[in-house]
Amino acid sequence: MPLFVSNLLLLDGWRRLAAAFIAGIIASFAQDPFGWFPLLWLSMPLLVWLLDSAALGQNTKRAAFAMARVGWMFGFGFFLCTFYWLGAAFLVEADKFAWAMPLAVVILPAGLALFWCVAAGVSALVWSTSPLRIVWLALLLAVAEYLRGTLFTGLPWGGFGPALASSGVLMQALSLVGPNTLSLFSVLLFALPVCLFQEDRFKVLGRMMVVLVLTVFVAQVAFGFYRSNLPTELAEDAPVVRLVQPNIPQTEKWKFENRSWIFNRLLALTSLDTEEHPLDAIDMVIWPESAVPFFLMEQSGALTAIKSSLPAGAGLLTGALRRNPDSPRTDEIYNSIYQLGPDGTILQAYDKVHLVPFGEYLPMQPLLDKLGLEQLTAQKIGFKVGTKRTLLDNPKLGKLLPLICYEIAFSSDILSFPKSADLIINVTNDAWFGKTIGPSQHLHIARMRAVETGLPVLRVANTGISAVIDARGKVEKQLELGAEGLIQTHVPLKLSATPYARFGNWIFFAVCVLLILTTASISRKFGKD
């Protein structure tokens, strides 16, 4: 065994935990926008050897607690770097929310790290010196990732799966197996160096695992290279869309005196007629999330202005706040997408179903209100949850799946729509997060959803990054972060439903069962230790 591995095994106390924290930080740079996924071949073996150190000479109970601490510190380092940019949202109204920024930036990563903490602790039940321990760890961490995206409203943002999907080539595997199975495989792949440093009786098994996993990885790369290099498909009469990125600073967005110039900027970009962006033949204009800083349904003059600005025959999709006209309560407000016809009439609306906790609503609001807490949105009473996810019917673009802001992070929520939808519309307002890495991560997630579903994505962001993404996750056009402008382009075609779109997470569950049975059988043959 190499000296550096022996030294890791001898670490104890705070030194072991500090090493786990640093390893987690290193692992976070495998994600977008950095995409340095080879770093995981350093950080994942470090995690395994630190877990070995925690289990060394301990009974199962003591080992479980020691390993859980290592898992938590690794996760805390990882998520701290993954989500540090959330702190920027607390500086938009710094006089009201800056005090809470350190709490949010620390507490959220600490909470998310608990999933990896539990996975590492439970792994003590099956831990051994055999290379099979990395299979058990991969299974447990993948299940933890699935639960992280599901429990307590879920937050499936970041993680090992997106790290292995950091390029257009590697992410194509998502169309086959989805993000959870890719998370499982990524732990197996990046923990492989552990298999090269095994005691003699496990060397053959370790080498077999290396060959098998690398063979799957080579197949992933080959499949991804082939699929990602296929040309973007367009129909002969492909509709033309105009995506508007107004670039309104969040500090200015909800000031009453700014309503006119914000609305006029949207209208000006909508009606702009240049050689590069001609007005003729546009079928749909799309504005970002909450683009209109007032209740659109209650402003007939605004609807008339929109009608006058729209290109001939074009409709509009826009994010806006919606107040329920059928409710006697004036505080029943939704974060919505409106579909307007060429004559400026409102045809359909979709109300956001998956709201951001503490951002768009307060869990246990009556209690937290008494403590003086409030959500970050402009609406003090918070938004109401939409009743259900629905498609918008458009005569030119087909059936549209509207996703507002981080709703696009939840692949499980949209698995029932790829067969019936023709296009994903993702409107968002990432102005909250300035020029941090958050908007880039958000764009990467949209690319992943395109690959998983076989649906193109039109992403329209207030301050960027707006983009046209084809059904294989390729960014055809984009507007950079912090730019004002527009994208005008043909809409790519959808592909046939992918295996993941057809079978969803049943693929992940089947892979887990198969690995459990296979690993348990091999463990009995070789012995646990």
* Alpha-carbon distance values, 241 to 70, 134, 277, 495 (Å): 50, 48, 11, 19
Tokens of residue 463, six digits = 């301050």
What would the DSSP string read from start to end of 404-455? EGGGGG-GGGGTTSTTT-SEEEEEE-GGGGTTSSHHHHHHHHHHHHHHHHT-
- Active-site residue, 484 included: no
Please state, in angstroms and rounded to a whole number, the distance separating the CA atoms of residues 442 and 461.
10
In this structure, the strands spanning 423-428 and 398-404 are: parallel
Provide φ and ψ at 490, rounded to 5°: -80, 150
Tokens of residue 220, six digits = 């992933």
Tokens of residue 135, six digits = 């299979």
Please tell me which residue in 289, 360, 407, 452 is annotated as part of the active site: 289
Tokens of residue 169, six digits = 């080539």
3-state secondary structure of 3: helix
Please tell me which residue in 405, 407, 474, 494 is annotated as part of the active site: 405
**Alpha carbon 501 to chain centroid distance?**
17
User: What does the DSSP 8-state code read for residue 123?
Assistant: G
Length of the chain measured in residues: 529
Provide φ and ψ at 398, rounded to 5°: 95, -150
**Closest to 396 in 3D by CA, of 425, 428, 422, 424:** 422
Q: Is the peptide bond before 465 cis (omega within 30 degrees of 0)?
A: yes
What would the DSSP string read from start to end of 374-407? --SSS-TT-PPPPS---PEEETTTEEEEEEEGGG
- Active-site residue, 512 included: no
**Closest to 458 in 3D by CA, of 313, 318, 263:** 318
Provide φ and ψ at 252, rounded to 5°: -105, -15
- Active-site residue, 352 included: yes
Report yes or no: 435 and 481 within 8 Å, Cβ to Cβ.
Answer: yes
Strand order in the sheet with 333-340: 346-351, 333-340, 315-323, 284-286, 240-245, 485-490
Q: Is the peptide bond before 249 cis (omega within 30 degrees of 0)?
A: no
Please tell me which residue in 81, 145, 253, 352 is annotated as part of the active site: 352
* Residue carrying the six token digits 């993954």: 82
List beta partners, residue 248: none
* Residues with a known catalytic role: 289, 352, 405
